[in-house]
Amino acid sequence: MIVGVECTAHTFGIGIVDKGKILANVKDMYSPASGGIVPMDSAKHHKNVSEKLWNEALEKSGISEKDIDAIALSNAPGLSPCLIAGLHFAKEKAAELGVPIVPVNHCIAHLEIGRSVGAHDPVLLYASGANTQIIAFAAGKYRIFGETLDIGVGNFIDKVARHFGMPFPGGPKLEVAAKTGKYIELPYSIKGMDVSFSGMQTKLQQLFDKGAKVEDLAFSLQETAFPMLVEAAERALAHTGKKELVLGGGVACNSRLQEMCRIMCQERGAKFFCPERSLLVDNAAMIAYTGEIMFNSGIKENAKNVDIKPRERTDEVNVIWR
Protein backbone atom coordinates (compact mmCIF):
# COMPACT_ATOMS: atom_id res chain seq x y z
CA MET A 1 0.00 0.00 0.00
CA ILE A 2 1.57 3.27 -1.12
CA VAL A 3 0.42 6.77 -0.20
CA GLY A 4 1.35 9.44 -2.74
CA VAL A 5 1.88 13.12 -2.01
CA GLU A 6 1.64 15.69 -4.84
CA CYS A 7 2.97 19.16 -4.04
CA THR A 8 5.00 20.52 -6.99
CA ALA A 9 2.94 23.62 -7.85
CA HIS A 10 -0.62 24.77 -7.12
CA THR A 11 -2.09 21.38 -6.22
CA PHE A 12 -1.67 19.48 -2.98
CA GLY A 13 -3.00 15.96 -3.15
CA ILE A 14 -2.99 12.61 -1.40
CA GLY A 15 -3.46 9.41 -3.38
CA ILE A 16 -3.53 5.80 -2.25
CA VAL A 17 -2.66 2.88 -4.51
CA ASP A 18 -2.59 -0.85 -3.83
CA LYS A 19 -1.32 -3.26 -6.51
CA GLY A 20 -2.00 -0.72 -9.25
CA LYS A 21 -5.50 0.00 -8.02
CA ILE A 22 -6.35 3.58 -7.07
CA LEU A 23 -8.16 3.58 -3.71
CA ALA A 24 -8.21 7.35 -3.13
CA ASN A 25 -7.25 10.49 -5.01
CA VAL A 26 -8.07 13.70 -3.19
CA LYS A 27 -6.69 17.17 -3.77
CA ASP A 28 -7.04 20.85 -3.09
CA MET A 29 -5.82 23.59 -5.40
CA TYR A 30 -4.35 26.93 -4.41
CA SER A 31 -5.94 29.54 -6.62
CA PRO A 32 -4.90 33.17 -6.29
CA ALA A 33 -7.72 35.72 -6.59
CA SER A 34 -5.78 37.46 -9.38
CA GLY A 35 -2.52 36.96 -11.24
CA GLY A 36 -0.32 33.87 -11.21
CA ILE A 37 0.99 31.52 -8.54
CA VAL A 38 2.88 33.11 -5.65
CA PRO A 39 5.11 30.17 -4.61
CA MET A 40 5.23 31.08 -0.89
CA ASP A 41 1.44 31.38 -0.76
CA SER A 42 0.99 28.09 -2.55
CA ALA A 43 3.35 26.46 -0.04
CA LYS A 44 1.29 27.92 2.83
CA HIS A 45 -1.81 26.49 1.20
CA HIS A 46 -0.19 23.06 1.03
CA LYS A 47 0.70 23.23 4.71
CA ASN A 48 -2.83 24.20 5.66
CA VAL A 49 -4.64 21.44 3.77
CA SER A 50 -2.21 18.52 4.11
CA GLU A 51 -3.47 16.94 7.33
CA LYS A 52 -7.12 17.26 6.32
CA LEU A 53 -6.48 15.63 2.91
CA TRP A 54 -4.41 12.87 4.49
CA ASN A 55 -7.34 11.95 6.75
CA GLU A 56 -9.82 12.25 3.90
CA ALA A 57 -7.80 9.89 1.69
CA LEU A 58 -7.43 7.31 4.46
CA GLU A 59 -11.14 7.45 5.14
CA LYS A 60 -12.07 7.13 1.46
CA SER A 61 -9.78 4.15 0.92
CA GLY A 62 -10.82 2.44 4.14
CA ILE A 63 -7.22 1.55 4.97
CA SER A 64 -5.50 2.19 8.25
CA GLU A 65 -2.12 3.81 8.72
CA LYS A 66 -0.46 0.51 9.66
CA ASP A 67 -1.17 -0.83 6.14
CA ILE A 68 1.09 1.79 4.57
CA ASP A 69 4.38 0.46 3.18
CA ALA A 70 5.88 3.70 1.89
CA ILE A 71 5.19 7.32 1.05
CA ALA A 72 5.73 8.38 -2.54
CA LEU A 73 6.62 12.05 -2.81
CA SER A 74 6.72 14.27 -5.89
CA ASN A 75 10.08 15.80 -4.92
CA ALA A 76 10.85 17.07 -8.47
CA PRO A 77 10.58 19.21 -10.53
CA GLY A 78 8.61 22.19 -9.28
CA LEU A 79 8.50 25.34 -7.20
CA SER A 80 10.92 25.08 -4.26
CA PRO A 81 8.64 26.39 -1.50
CA CYS A 82 5.88 23.99 -2.59
CA LEU A 83 8.28 21.05 -2.79
CA ILE A 84 9.60 21.86 0.68
CA ALA A 85 6.08 21.93 2.12
CA GLY A 86 5.46 18.47 0.64
CA LEU A 87 8.85 17.20 1.81
CA HIS A 88 8.25 18.27 5.41
CA PHE A 89 4.85 16.65 5.44
CA ALA A 90 6.10 13.40 3.90
CA LYS A 91 9.06 13.22 6.29
CA GLU A 92 6.83 13.79 9.28
CA LYS A 93 4.47 11.00 8.22
CA ALA A 94 7.30 8.65 7.26
CA ALA A 95 8.90 9.12 10.69
CA GLU A 96 5.60 8.63 12.48
CA LEU A 97 4.83 5.43 10.60
CA GLY A 98 8.40 4.17 10.33
CA VAL A 99 8.22 3.79 6.55
CA PRO A 100 10.57 4.86 3.72
CA ILE A 101 9.99 7.55 1.07
CA VAL A 102 9.98 6.90 -2.67
CA PRO A 103 11.00 10.10 -4.52
CA VAL A 104 8.98 10.46 -7.74
CA ASN A 105 9.58 12.78 -10.70
CA HIS A 106 6.26 14.53 -11.43
CA CYS A 107 6.65 14.50 -15.24
CA ILE A 108 7.43 10.78 -15.30
CA ALA A 109 4.35 10.15 -13.14
CA HIS A 110 2.17 11.78 -15.84
CA LEU A 111 3.53 9.16 -18.25
CA GLU A 112 3.40 6.19 -15.91
CA ILE A 113 -0.25 6.77 -15.05
CA GLY A 114 -0.95 6.11 -18.73
CA ARG A 115 -0.08 2.51 -17.94
CA SER A 116 -3.05 2.35 -15.56
CA VAL A 117 -5.38 2.92 -18.52
CA GLY A 118 -3.75 0.31 -20.75
CA ALA A 119 -0.69 1.92 -22.35
CA HIS A 120 2.52 -0.16 -22.20
CA ASP A 121 5.27 1.92 -23.73
CA PRO A 122 3.78 5.23 -24.82
CA VAL A 123 4.88 8.63 -26.01
CA LEU A 124 3.54 11.21 -23.54
CA LEU A 125 2.28 14.59 -24.70
CA TYR A 126 2.48 16.52 -21.46
CA ALA A 127 0.65 19.81 -21.88
CA SER A 128 0.19 21.69 -18.63
CA GLY A 129 0.53 25.22 -17.33
CA ALA A 130 4.25 25.32 -16.71
CA ASN A 131 5.31 22.22 -18.62
CA THR A 132 5.11 21.32 -22.27
CA GLN A 133 7.14 18.24 -23.15
CA ILE A 134 7.04 15.16 -25.29
CA ILE A 135 8.52 12.29 -23.31
CA ALA A 136 9.19 8.64 -24.09
CA PHE A 137 11.31 5.81 -22.78
CA ALA A 138 14.33 5.15 -24.96
CA ALA A 139 17.75 3.57 -24.33
CA GLY A 140 17.22 3.13 -20.62
CA LYS A 141 15.80 6.52 -19.74
CA TYR A 142 12.78 8.75 -20.05
CA ARG A 143 13.89 11.22 -22.68
CA ILE A 144 12.51 14.57 -23.70
CA PHE A 145 11.96 14.42 -27.45
CA GLY A 146 10.52 17.88 -27.74
CA GLU A 147 9.57 20.75 -25.49
CA THR A 148 8.66 24.39 -25.39
CA LEU A 149 11.49 26.82 -25.98
CA ASP A 150 9.77 29.57 -24.02
CA ILE A 151 6.63 29.20 -21.91
CA GLY A 152 4.35 26.24 -21.23
CA VAL A 153 1.26 25.99 -23.45
CA GLY A 154 -1.10 26.47 -20.48
CA ASN A 155 0.70 29.58 -19.26
CA PHE A 156 0.59 30.91 -22.82
CA ILE A 157 -3.17 30.30 -23.00
CA ASP A 158 -3.71 31.88 -19.57
CA LYS A 159 -1.67 34.97 -20.48
CA VAL A 160 -3.62 35.50 -23.69
CA ALA A 161 -6.91 34.95 -21.86
CA ARG A 162 -5.91 37.45 -19.18
CA HIS A 163 -5.22 40.00 -21.92
CA PHE A 164 -8.77 39.35 -23.16
CA GLY A 165 -10.08 40.05 -19.65
CA MET A 166 -10.69 36.41 -18.70
CA PRO A 167 -9.49 35.38 -15.23
CA PHE A 168 -7.31 32.32 -14.50
CA PRO A 169 -7.66 29.59 -15.66
CA GLY A 170 -8.21 30.90 -19.17
CA GLY A 171 -8.10 27.55 -21.00
CA PRO A 172 -11.67 26.37 -20.32
CA LYS A 173 -13.10 29.84 -21.12
CA LEU A 174 -11.19 30.09 -24.40
CA GLU A 175 -12.37 26.59 -25.33
CA VAL A 176 -15.99 27.73 -25.04
CA ALA A 177 -15.32 30.94 -27.00
CA ALA A 178 -13.55 28.94 -29.74
CA LYS A 179 -16.73 27.02 -30.56
CA THR A 180 -18.16 29.94 -32.57
CA GLY A 181 -14.92 31.39 -33.92
CA LYS A 182 -13.48 31.68 -37.41
CA TYR A 183 -9.89 31.09 -38.53
CA ILE A 184 -7.26 33.84 -38.60
CA GLU A 185 -3.70 32.96 -39.55
CA LEU A 186 -1.22 33.02 -36.63
CA PRO A 187 2.52 32.29 -36.39
CA TYR A 188 3.00 28.50 -36.36
CA SER A 189 6.28 27.94 -34.58
CA ILE A 190 7.94 24.55 -34.45
CA LYS A 191 11.68 24.04 -34.72
CA GLY A 192 12.66 20.41 -35.04
CA MET A 193 10.73 18.84 -32.20
CA ASP A 194 10.48 21.99 -30.12
CA VAL A 195 7.68 24.55 -30.02
CA SER A 196 7.44 28.17 -28.96
CA PHE A 197 4.46 30.32 -28.11
CA SER A 198 5.68 33.86 -27.44
CA GLY A 199 5.33 35.01 -31.08
CA MET A 200 1.75 33.78 -31.20
CA GLN A 201 1.05 35.43 -27.86
CA THR A 202 2.20 38.82 -29.11
CA LYS A 203 0.21 38.46 -32.33
CA LEU A 204 -3.00 37.47 -30.50
CA GLN A 205 -2.67 40.42 -28.14
CA GLN A 206 -2.07 42.83 -31.04
CA LEU A 207 -5.08 41.50 -32.96
CA PHE A 208 -7.25 41.83 -29.84
CA ASP A 209 -6.10 45.44 -29.32
CA LYS A 210 -7.04 46.17 -32.93
CA GLY A 211 -10.56 44.89 -32.29
CA ALA A 212 -10.54 41.28 -33.49
CA LYS A 213 -13.28 39.08 -32.00
CA VAL A 214 -12.33 36.96 -28.98
CA GLU A 215 -14.17 33.95 -30.49
CA ASP A 216 -12.05 34.11 -33.68
CA LEU A 217 -8.83 34.55 -31.69
CA ALA A 218 -9.69 31.66 -29.37
CA PHE A 219 -10.53 29.38 -32.30
CA SER A 220 -7.37 30.32 -34.16
CA LEU A 221 -5.23 29.86 -31.05
CA GLN A 222 -6.49 26.28 -30.68
CA GLU A 223 -6.16 25.56 -34.40
CA THR A 224 -2.55 26.78 -34.39
CA ALA A 225 -1.06 25.89 -30.99
CA PHE A 226 -2.53 22.39 -30.76
CA PRO A 227 -1.36 21.20 -34.20
CA MET A 228 2.16 22.26 -33.20
CA LEU A 229 1.93 19.90 -30.21
CA VAL A 230 0.38 17.12 -32.26
CA GLU A 231 3.03 17.48 -34.98
CA ALA A 232 5.85 17.15 -32.46
CA ALA A 233 4.13 14.20 -30.78
CA GLU A 234 3.63 12.49 -34.13
CA ARG A 235 7.30 12.93 -35.00
CA ALA A 236 8.25 11.39 -31.66
CA LEU A 237 6.02 8.39 -32.50
CA ALA A 238 7.62 8.09 -35.93
CA HIS A 239 11.14 8.49 -34.57
CA THR A 240 10.79 5.97 -31.73
CA GLY A 241 8.56 3.54 -33.62
CA LYS A 242 6.18 3.51 -30.66
CA LYS A 243 2.49 2.85 -31.21
CA GLU A 244 0.85 4.54 -28.23
CA LEU A 245 0.18 8.14 -27.28
CA VAL A 246 -0.80 9.24 -23.76
CA LEU A 247 -2.05 12.71 -22.87
CA GLY A 248 -1.22 14.48 -19.62
CA GLY A 249 -1.52 17.93 -18.04
CA GLY A 250 -4.36 20.39 -17.57
CA VAL A 251 -4.43 21.54 -21.21
CA ALA A 252 -5.09 17.93 -22.18
CA CYS A 253 -8.60 18.45 -20.76
CA ASN A 254 -9.33 20.40 -23.96
CA SER A 255 -11.61 18.37 -26.21
CA ARG A 256 -10.25 19.86 -29.43
CA LEU A 257 -6.70 18.85 -28.49
CA GLN A 258 -7.98 15.38 -27.63
CA GLU A 259 -9.78 15.17 -30.98
CA MET A 260 -6.64 16.17 -32.92
CA CYS A 261 -4.60 13.54 -31.07
CA ARG A 262 -7.24 10.89 -31.70
CA ILE A 263 -7.29 11.63 -35.43
CA MET A 264 -3.49 11.66 -35.69
CA CYS A 265 -3.28 8.30 -33.91
CA GLN A 266 -6.01 6.79 -36.08
CA GLU A 267 -4.24 7.91 -39.22
CA ARG A 268 -0.97 6.28 -38.25
CA GLY A 269 -2.44 3.19 -36.60
CA ALA A 270 -1.41 4.13 -33.07
CA LYS A 271 -3.46 3.71 -29.90
CA PHE A 272 -4.60 6.85 -28.13
CA PHE A 273 -4.99 7.00 -24.35
CA CYS A 274 -6.58 9.92 -22.57
CA PRO A 275 -6.83 9.22 -18.83
CA GLU A 276 -9.89 10.56 -17.03
CA ARG A 277 -9.74 14.20 -16.01
CA SER A 278 -8.78 13.53 -12.37
CA LEU A 279 -5.65 11.72 -13.63
CA LEU A 280 -4.81 14.24 -16.38
CA VAL A 281 -4.41 17.21 -14.08
CA ASP A 282 -1.89 17.31 -11.24
CA ASN A 283 -2.88 14.57 -8.83
CA ALA A 284 -1.40 12.31 -6.17
CA ALA A 285 -2.79 9.03 -7.51
CA MET A 286 -0.20 9.19 -10.31
CA ILE A 287 2.54 9.78 -7.72
CA ALA A 288 1.38 6.78 -5.65
CA TYR A 289 0.97 4.65 -8.79
CA THR A 290 4.49 5.45 -10.02
CA GLY A 291 5.84 5.17 -6.48
CA GLU A 292 4.45 1.65 -6.18
CA ILE A 293 6.14 0.53 -9.40
CA MET A 294 9.43 2.04 -8.19
CA PHE A 295 9.02 0.57 -4.67
CA ASN A 296 8.45 -2.90 -6.12
CA SER A 297 11.75 -2.66 -7.94
CA GLY A 298 13.52 -1.77 -4.72
CA ILE A 299 13.58 2.02 -4.78
CA LYS A 300 13.04 3.40 -1.29
CA GLU A 301 14.96 5.87 0.77
CA ASN A 302 15.38 6.59 4.41
CA ALA A 303 13.24 9.70 4.91
CA LYS A 304 16.25 11.54 6.37
CA ASN A 305 18.11 11.31 3.04
CA VAL A 306 15.37 12.62 0.76
CA ASP A 307 15.61 16.15 -0.58
CA ILE A 308 13.78 18.25 -3.16
CA LYS A 309 15.08 18.55 -6.73
CA PRO A 310 13.34 21.62 -8.14
CA ARG A 311 15.11 21.44 -11.51
CA GLU A 312 15.47 17.73 -12.07
CA ARG A 313 15.15 16.89 -15.76
CA THR A 314 13.22 13.83 -16.86
CA ASP A 315 16.33 12.26 -18.38
CA GLU A 316 18.35 12.62 -15.16
CA VAL A 317 16.25 9.98 -13.44
CA ASN A 318 17.89 6.59 -13.15
CA VAL A 319 15.13 4.27 -14.39
CA ILE A 320 15.73 0.83 -12.91
CA TRP A 321 12.07 -0.22 -12.84
CA ARG A 322 11.68 -1.07 -16.51
Residues that bind Mg ion (CB under 5 A): 128, 282
Instruction: Report in angstroms how near the CB of residue 131 gets to ligand AMP at its nearest.
Output: 7
Nearer of residues 146 and 248 to ligand AMP, judged by Cβ: 248
Instruction: Report in angstroms how near the CB of residue 110 gets to Mg ion at its nearest.
Output: 6
Residue nearest to ligand AMP (CB): 250
Is 170 a binding residue for ligand AMP by CB under 6 A? The answer is: yes
Spell out the SS3 assignment of the chain.
CEEEEECCCCEEEEEEEECCEEEEEEEEECCCCCCCCCHHHHHHHHHHHHHHHHHHHHHHHCCCHHHCCEEEEEEECCCHHHHHHHHHHHHHHHHHHCCCEEEEEHHHHHHHHHHHHCCCCCEEEEECCCCEEEEEEECCEEEEEEEECCCCHHHHHHHHHHHCCCCCCHHHHHHHHHCCCCCCCCCCCEECCEECCHHHHHHHHHHHHCCCCHHHHHHHHHHHHHHHHHHHHHHHHHHHCCCEEEEECHHHHCHHHHHHHHHHHHHCCCEEECCCHHHHCCCCHHHHHHHHHHHHCCCCECHHHCCCCCCCCHHHCCCCCC
Nearer of residues 128 and 220 to Mg ion, judged by Cβ: 128
Stretch that binds ligand AMP, among 56-64, 75-83, 132-140, 163-171 (CB under 6 A): 163-171
Nearer of residues 10 and 93 to ligand AMP, judged by Cβ: 10
Among 6, 112, 147, 175, the residue binding ligand AMP under the rule CB under 6 A is 175
Among 249, 270, 273, 285, the residue binding ligand AMP under the rule CB under 6 A is 249
Positions touching ligand AMP (CB under 6 A) are: 128-130, 154, 157-158, 169-172, 175, 249-251, 253-254, 281-282
